[in-house]
């Protein structure tokens, strides 16, 4: 069920008619790059056929799961980033584990406290470690693998390789490492499927099988949606219709896609963030996903929103229904998607992949590349290379500081924030830059604990209520492979507050001169540097080693900024 303001409804109807009259659905399935920019998009559409390809691998998936269970493995630790980690994380939280499946743990942070927590959460003698990386050259999975391979050798000795599985594209560096070190299995991805579209490929089905998900049932659900998405009548086509709504809403200035999901589907939002933001955020355009934002009064939302309600049938949600009905009465467009059961997650994966590709076509961009993600990677590499050469990261000086936190910004932002008196006054001035149609993103390079999330959610709540702006929360470096693309390649409507800290206890990366803390610091500085190069309104808040105390002080400073 989709309800729009009249002007948006007219634009959606025109575009749906155009898609039908110009046979654009058929052209999508025929991989016609002229639907987008004719920039090689046809090379990245392997996900259209992935369901049948994975059905052919069902016996292999079951055999691996049975062998792992029979050998007494109780846990699976997946090391990955972006599409290689977010898809399995959603599958585990929504569908698994089953009674006879392993427990899945997904590590996608270089924060040393978080790496240590994951190490302590599993018994490596009974843990299968999956290293997942399409290219095999991504920094984070490789240093995670170096750390846990060493830990496995310390724990199980020569049997370490039997505890390791690689999921990677053929010919990658990770394949070579896996062959050299005697991994128990190497499972290949499809080079024609980008990471964020890979959840129904081996990157999703292998972890799913290991935790006891009925992969055949999941694929059947996806196949049902794929068939519906072949409908040449665009208005009846569930993926195309959604994509047209999102694309036209963004063109009309409603580019903040606010996700409201039933509790049983709440984990899906992180995957949607990555798919939508990394695909559409480029050439100064973007659909900005807003996930898990604390709920506010309907009057506190600006006219830049479109709401999607993922409604799991049979799940208590009367309060969500009432909230969205109030928003719709207030003039906000609301799309409701009824999800019949947890396994219909397979349908939603495919629906949203089609919708994102279609929204990219409506916006006139290539939804399959990610140039600004690469820019951050290059800056991070330059900084870690500098550390390996000099033994330290390049020096930097705060623009303001006190006993609670220090603030950092480039010259352009520092000039805009003058006078640089106290940190609280600078923060007040920074938040005063938020205007109509803007969004505020908190970029937290911290351990992603429940306590830290809760504190930052309260900060989001204050900012949204006081400014009317949409708010986003991302933990680094995982958001770099997700919303980071939209923040840098999308419109200049973001106001950014990056949050870093001193690491109370660091961890060495085996075989390298740097630590996980150094990598995290380099990633944060590289991230901020690209934002600054793009002319973004960005400020970094650096906390001390007591993160809880620092976040408490930050919350108080944000609240005081609006008094």
pLDDT at 127: 98
Q: Quick one: average pLDDT of 150-163?
A: 98
Three-class secondary structure of residue 97 per DSSP:
coil
Least confident residue range of 267-281, 370-384, 419-433, 475-489: 370-384
Q: Quick one: average pLDDT of 262-273?
A: 96
Query: What does the alpha-carbon distance between residue 90 and residue 96 come to, in Å, rounded to a whole number?
Result: 9
Three-class secondary structure of residue 402 per DSSP:
coil
Q: 546 pLDDT exceeds 70?
A: yes
Task: Tell me the pairing of strands 2-3 and 334-339.
Answer: antiparallel
Q: Tokens 């932002």 appear where?
A: 413
Q: 1 pLDDT exceeds 70?
A: no
User: Which band of pLDDT confidence, cut at 50, 70 and 90, is reported for residue 3?
Assistant: low
Three-class secondary structure of residue 520 per DSSP:
helix
Question: Which two structure tokens, joined as six digits, stand for 133?
Answer: 């990386």
pLDDT one-digit tens code per residue, 336-379: 999 999 999 999 999 999 999 999 999 999 999 998 888 888 99
pLDDT at 293: 97
pLDDT at 5: 77
Q: 536 pLDDT exceeds 70?
A: yes
Q: Domain 371-561 adopts which CATH fold?
A: Rossmann fold (3.40.50)
Give counts: helices (H), strands (E), the chain: 21, 16
Query: What does the alpha-carbon distance between residue 373 and residue 134 come to, in Å, rounded to a whole number?
Result: 15
- pLDDT over 70, % of the chain: 99
| CA-closest candidate to residue 30, choices 49, 51, 17, 7 | 49
Q: Where are the domains of the chain?
A: 2-30+230-344+355-363, 48-213, 371-561
Q: Quick one: average pLDDT of 23-45?
A: 98
Q: Quick one: average pLDDT of 486-499?
A: 97
In contact, 518 and 139? CB cutoff 8 Å: no
pLDDT at 2: 63
pLDDT at 372: 85
pLDDT at 6: 76
Q: 314 pLDDT exceeds 90?
A: no
Question: Which two structure tokens, joined as six digits, stand for 448?
Answer: 């992603």
Task: Tell me the pairing of strands 470-475 and 439-444.
Answer: parallel
pLDDT one-digit tens code per residue, 60-113: 999 999 999 999 999 999 999 999 999 999 999 999 888 889 999 999 999 999
| CA-closest candidate to residue 118, choices 110, 371, 230 | 110
pLDDT at 66: 97
Query: What does the alpha-carbon distance between residue 226 and residue 239 come to, in Å, rounded to a whole number?
Result: 9
Q: Quick one: average pLDDT of 508-512?
A: 96
What is the residue-averaged pLDDT of the chain?
96
Q: 312 pLDDT exceeds 60?
A: yes
Q: Do domains 48-213 and 371-561 have the same CATH topology?
A: yes
CATH of domain 48-213: 3.40.50.10490
Q: How many of the other CB atoms lie within 10 Å of CB of 6?
A: 7
Q: Would you list the DSSP string of 305-359?
A: EEEEEEEETTS--HHHHHHHHHHHHTT--EEEEEE-SGGGHHHHHHHHHHHHHHH
Give the H/E segment covering residue 127. Answer: strand 127-132
| CA-closest candidate to residue 260, choices 220, 203, 219, 305 | 305
Q: Tokens 């060493």 appear where?
A: 150
pLDDT one-digit tens code per residue, 318-331: 799 999 999 988 88
> CATH class for domain 2-30+230-344+355-363?
alpha beta
Q: What's the whole-model pTM score?
A: 0.97
Q: Could you give the C-alpha distances from 281 to 156, 355, 436, 441, 533, in angstroms and in order?
A: 45, 15, 20, 15, 16
User: Which band of pLDDT confidence, cut at 50, 70 and 90, is reported for residue 144?
Assistant: very high
């Amino acid at each position: 069920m989709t309800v729009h303001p009249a002007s948006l409804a007219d634009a959606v109807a025109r575009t749906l008619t155009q898609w039908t009259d110009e046979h654009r659905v058929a052209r999508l399935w025929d991989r016609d790059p002229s639907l987008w920019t004719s920039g090689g998009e046809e090379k990245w559409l392997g996900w259209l056929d992935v369901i049948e390809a994975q059905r052919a691998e069902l016996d292999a998936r079951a055999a691996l799961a049975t062998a792992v269970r029979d050998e007494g493995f109780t846990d699976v630790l997946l090391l990955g980033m972006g599409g290689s980690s977010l898809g399995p994380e959603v599958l585990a939280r929504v569908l698994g584990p089953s009674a006879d499946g392993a427990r899945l743990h997904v590590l996608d942070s270089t924060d040393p406290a978080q790496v240590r927590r994951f190490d302590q959460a599993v018994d490596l003698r009974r843990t299968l470690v999956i290293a997942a990386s399409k290219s095999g050259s991504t920094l984070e999975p490789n240093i995670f693998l170096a750390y846990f391979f060493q830990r496995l050798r310390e724990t199980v000795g020569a049997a370490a390789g039997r505890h390791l599985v690689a999921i990677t594209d053929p010919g990658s560096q990770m394949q070579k490492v896996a062959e050299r070190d005697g991994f128990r299995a190497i499972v290949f991805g499809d080079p024609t499927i980008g990471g964020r579209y890979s959840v129904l490929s081996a990157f999703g089905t292998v972890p799913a099988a290991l935790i006891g998900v009925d992969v055949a049932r999941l694929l059947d659900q996806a196949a049902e949606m794929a068939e519906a998405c072949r409908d040449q009548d665009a208005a009846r086509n569930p993926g195309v219709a959604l994509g047209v709504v999102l694309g036209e809403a963004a063109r009309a200035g409603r580019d903040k896609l606010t996700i409201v999901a039933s509790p049983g589907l709440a984990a899906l939002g992180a995957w949607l963030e990555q798919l939508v933001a990394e695909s559409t955020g480029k050439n100064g355009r973007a659909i900005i996903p807003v996930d898990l934002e604390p709920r506010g009064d309907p009057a506190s939302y600006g006219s830049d929103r479109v709401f999607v309600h993922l409604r799991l049938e049979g799940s208590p949600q009367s309060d969500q229904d009432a909230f969205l009905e109030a928003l719709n009465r207030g003039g906000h467009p609301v799309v409701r998607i009824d999800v019949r059961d947890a396994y219909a997650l397979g349908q939603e994966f495919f629906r949203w992949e089609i919708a994102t590709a279609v929204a990219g076509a409506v916006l006139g961009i290539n939804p399959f590349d990610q140039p600004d993600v690469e820019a951050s990677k290059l800056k991070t590499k330059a900084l870690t290379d500098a550390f390996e050469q000099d033994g330290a990261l390049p020096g930097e000086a705060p623009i303001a500081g006190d006993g609670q936190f220090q603030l950092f910004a480039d010259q352009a932002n520092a000039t805009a924030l003058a006078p640089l008196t106290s940190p609280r006054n600078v923060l007040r001035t920074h938040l005063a830059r938020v205007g109509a149609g803007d969004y505020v993103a908190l970029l937290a390079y911290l351990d992603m604990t429940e306590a830290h999330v809760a504190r930052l959610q309260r900060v989001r709540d204050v900012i949204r209520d006081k400014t009317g702006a949409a708010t986003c929360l991302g933990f680094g470096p995982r958001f770099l492979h997700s919303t980071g693309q939209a923040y840098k390649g999308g419109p200049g409507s973001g106001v950014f507050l990056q949050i870093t800290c001193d690491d109370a206890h660091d961890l060495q990366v085996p075989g390298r001169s740097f630590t996980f803390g150094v990598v995290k610091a380099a990633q944060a500085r590289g991230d901020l540097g690209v934002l600054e190069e793009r002319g973004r309104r960005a400020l970094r808040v650096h906390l001390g080693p007591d993160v809880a105390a620092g976040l408490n002080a930050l919350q108080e400073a944000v609240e005081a900024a609006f008094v």
